[in-house]
Amino acid sequence: MKDQFVVPARLKTTSFVLMGIGLLTLLIGIFAFHGEHGSTRFWAGLLQNSSFFALIILASTFFIGATTLAHGGWQIGFRRVPEAISMALPVLGGILFIVVMLIVFGGKEHIYHWVNAEHVKHDPILTWKSAFLNKGTFTGFMIVTISLWIFFTIKLRNMSIQEDGWDLTAATGRRIIWRNTVWCGAFIVIYALSVASTTPWLLLMSIDAHWYSTMYSWYTFASTWVSGIALIILFVAYLKRNGYLPMVNEEHLHDLGKFAFAFSIFWTYLWFSQYMLIWYANMPEETVYFKPRVWGEWRPIFFLNLIINFITPLLYLMKRDTKRNYSSMVFISIVILAGHWMDFWQMVGPGTYEHLVFPWYEAGLAVGFVGLIIFLVSNQLTKAPLVPKNHPYLKESIVHHT
Amino acid sequence: MAVKNFVVASFSDEAVLFPAVKKVRTAGYKIHDVYTPFPIHGLDHALGLRETSLHTAGFIYGITGTTTALSCMSWVFNSDWPMNIGGKPHFPLPAFIPITFELTVLFSAVGMVLTFCYLCQLAPFVKKHIFHPRQTDDLFVMAIEVTAKTNTEELKSFLASIGGQQINEQRAEAGWWYGRFDQDDRLFEAKRVEAVNA
C-alpha cells in the first residue's frame, strides 16, 4: 500500500515550466501594459488571477470544514488531499494581499476608483460609501481575513497530522471528532463572514464602486466553491492514477461528482437571482453592471459563461456513469475550472479595461498560478501519509457506498 | 401475472442474508425477491438486478416540464393574449425561468414518484402477497420461485443450512391485483392466497 506520496520528477518539471510561463507572461505584461491607462490591464489580470486562485484554494479548507461539521465520513479516505491543497493558502493568500495592497496604495484608480481621494470628494455616491470603502478599512479587512484563513487552515492541517500519532481508543476518537467540530465550526463562521460577504465586496464588487448587488458575494462564493471541488477531483484522480489512495474508489468520485453537479446548479441559481432582479427592476444604477456584459463587447463571454458553467456540467454530470469515471471527471473538472476562471475574468474585465480582448496575458498568468499550485500542493502531499489512519470515520469511508 | 409456488425463508439480519443470497444464486435457484425492513446498500448488486432506468424517466419528465412551461407561456404572451407588462418584450425569457424551473421540478418529481410506485407495484386499491408479516418489521425474507427443476425438499434443507429460519412453502400470486388490505378479495377469488405448508 503506497501511503507516502513522492513527487515524481515529471510533475516537478511540469510545475516549474508552468510557473516559468506565468513569470514570462508577467514580465511581458510589464512591458506590454505600461503608462497610466495601459497598466490597468496588467493589474486587472493580476487581481483576477490572484483572487480566483486564492479563493479556490480556500475552498478546500471550506470543504474540510463543511464535511466535518456535517459529520461526513466518506471524505476521510482522501481528506489529506484537500488538506494539502489548502496548505497552498499561505503563499496564494500572500500573493493576493501583495497584489491588492499594490493596487490600493499604488493609486491604481482605474481598477478601484475609490482609492483616489480627490475623485471621491466630487462623487456623492463614493463619498457616501467612503465610511466603509476606504484604504484603511480595505487593508484592515484584508489583513484580518487573510490571516484568519491561513491560521485556521494551518490549525486544521496540524490537528489532522498530530492525530496520526495518537493511540486509537474510544476516548481519543471522541476527542478527534470534538475538537475538529469546534475548530471547523469557528472556521465556517469566519468563512461565512468573509468569503460569503465582505471579501468579494472589497476585492471585486468595488471595481464597479457605484454599483452594488446583495447576491454578489454568494455568487462569487459559489464560483470558487465549485472550482475548489473540481481542483480536489483533479488531485484525487491524479493520485489515484499513480497508485495512491487505495481506499478511494469510484464511490467517492461519484460523491465528488455530485458535489460538482449540485454546486454548478447552485452557481447558476445565484447568477440568475442576481441577473433577474436587476433585469426586472430595470433601474439604471443597477443595470449599468450588465450593460457592457449583455449588450456590449462582452456579450459572447456572457453567454459562453452560462453554457460552460451551467449547461455543460448539467448535461454532462447528470448521468451516473460520467460521475464514476476518472477520465470523464478530469475532463469536466478542467472545464469547470476554466469556466469559472472565465467568470472571474468577466467580473473584472468590463469594469477595468472595458474592451473585450484576447486574454493571452490573463491566461498566461493563470498557467503560472496553476504551476505554483501544483508545486505547492505536491510538496504538501509528501509531508504526511495520505490516509489519516486514526480518524474514527475512516472505516465509514472505506466501506462507503453511494 | 401468475400464481406460483414459492419457498420462503426468513433471516435474522443482513450479515446472514448477504452470504445466503450469494449461495442461493450460486446454487442456481431463482430468487423471486428479497424483502427487508430497511434499504440495504449493495443488495441490488448481490441480487444481480439491473440498474434502474428511473433517472432516465426523470430526465424525460423534466424535459417535458420545461417544454410545457416554455411553450405555454410563450403561446399565451405572444399569440393568445399579448400584453405589455412593464415595457418588457413579449418573450421575456428571464421572467419565464422561475416558472420553467418549477414546472421542470414538479413534472420530474411527480412523474418519478408515480413511476417508482409503479415499478414497486405500489398503489392505492392494489394488493400484493405478503410472504411474512414481519418482513416490514425486523425480518429479512427471501422468496425463491419453485420452477420445474426445483427439488423443494432439497432447497428447504439447503436454506436451513445457510441460516434460513421459518422455512415454508407458499402458493401465491406473484404480481399485484385489485383489492384492499383491510378487506378480503371478492372479484378475484381464484387469486386468493393459501399457504400450502405453513
Q: Which CATH class is domain B3-51+128-197?
A: alpha beta
| Residue B171: strand pairing partners | B5, B194
Test B41 with A401 for CB contact under 8 angstroms: yes
Query: Above 60 in pLDDT, residue B190?
Result: no
* Cα–Cα nearest to A344, from A96, A135, A142: A96
The band of B185, judged by pLDDT with boundaries at 50, 70 and 90, is low
Q: Divide the 402 residues of chain A into consecutive groups of 10 and give the mean pLDDT of each group.
A: 82 93 91 80 91 94 94 90 93 94 86 85 86 89 94 93 87 90 94 91 89 90 94 93 88 93 94 92 89 90 93 91 92 94 92 86 94 93 87 87 78
A282 touches chain B (CB under 8 A): yes
Chain B residues with CB within 8 Å of chain A CB: 41-42, 51, 55, 59, 86-87, 94-95, 97-98
Return the pLDDT at B193. Answer: 56
- Judging contacts by C-beta atoms under 8 Å, the chain A residues touching residue B59 are 318
Within 10 angstroms of residue A25's Cβ, the number of other Cβ atoms is 21
- Judging contacts by C-beta atoms under 8 Å, the chain A residues touching residue B42 are 401
- Judging contacts by C-beta atoms under 8 Å, the chain B residues touching residue A320 are 51, 55
For chain A, which residues make up each domain, given as ranges?
A: 9-398
In the block, residue with C-alpha cell 417544454 = B67
Query: Above 70 in pLDDT, residue B191?
Result: no
A320 touches chain B (CB under 8 A): yes
Can you give the C-alpha Rg of chain A in angstroms?
A: 21
Return the pLDDT at B198. Answer: 47
Overall average pLDDT of the B65-94 stretch: 90
If residue A398 lies in a helix (H) or strand (E), which one and from where to where? helix A394-398
Overall average pLDDT of the B76-95 stretch: 88
For chain B, which residues make up each domain, given as ranges?
A: 3-51+128-197, 54-119
A167 touches chain B (CB under 8 A): no
Return the pLDDT at A125. Answer: 87
- Cα separation, A139 vs A310, in Å, equals 35
Pick from B42, B94, B97: which is nearest to A401 by CB? B42
Test B95 with A275 for CB contact under 8 angstroms: no
Test B42 with A282 for CB contact under 8 angstroms: no
- Cα separation, A77 vs A82, in Å, equals 11
- Judging contacts by C-beta atoms under 8 Å, the chain B residues touching residue A276 are 94-95, 97-98
Cα-flanking dihedrals φ and ψ of residue A291, to 5°?
A: -60, -55
CB pairs under 8 A between A and B: 18
Average pLDDT in chain B: 86
- Judging contacts by C-beta atoms under 8 Å, the chain A residues touching residue B41 are 401
Return the pLDDT at B137. Answer: 87
The band of B90, judged by pLDDT with boundaries at 50, 70 and 90, is confident
- Cα separation, B18 vs B42, in Å, equals 9
The Cα-based distances of A71 to A48, A158, A191, A251, B191 in angstroms read 34, 19, 18, 18, 50
Query: Above 60 in pLDDT, residue B197?
Result: no
Asked whether A154 and A91 are in contact (CB, 8 A), the reply is no
Return the pLDDT at B194. Answer: 58
| Total residue length of chain A | 402
Test B95 with A318 for CB contact under 8 angstroms: no
Overall average pLDDT of the B8-22 stretch: 88
A280 touches chain B (CB under 8 A): yes
In the block, residue with C-alpha cell 474510544 = A170
- Judging contacts by C-beta atoms under 8 Å, the chain B residues touching residue A279 are 94
Pick from B41, B55, B94: which is nearest to A276 by CB? B94
Task: Name the percent of chain B lying above pLDDT 70.
Answer: 92
- Which cell goes with B18? 448477504
Return the pLDDT at B148. Answer: 84
Looking at CA atoms only, how far is residue B41 from chain A in angstroms? 7
Among chain A residues, CA nearest to B42: A401
Helices (H), A106-249: 117-121, 124-129, 135-163, 170-193, 199-203, 216-241
Say what the ipTM of the complex is: 0.78
- Judging contacts by C-beta atoms under 8 Å, the chain B residues touching residue A315 are none
Exposure string of A298-331, with b = 16+ CB inside 10 Å and e = fewer, is beebbeebbebbbebbeebbeeeebbbbeebbbe
Pick from B41, B87, B97: which is nearest to A272 by CB? B97
Query: Above 70 in pLDDT, residue B187?
Result: no
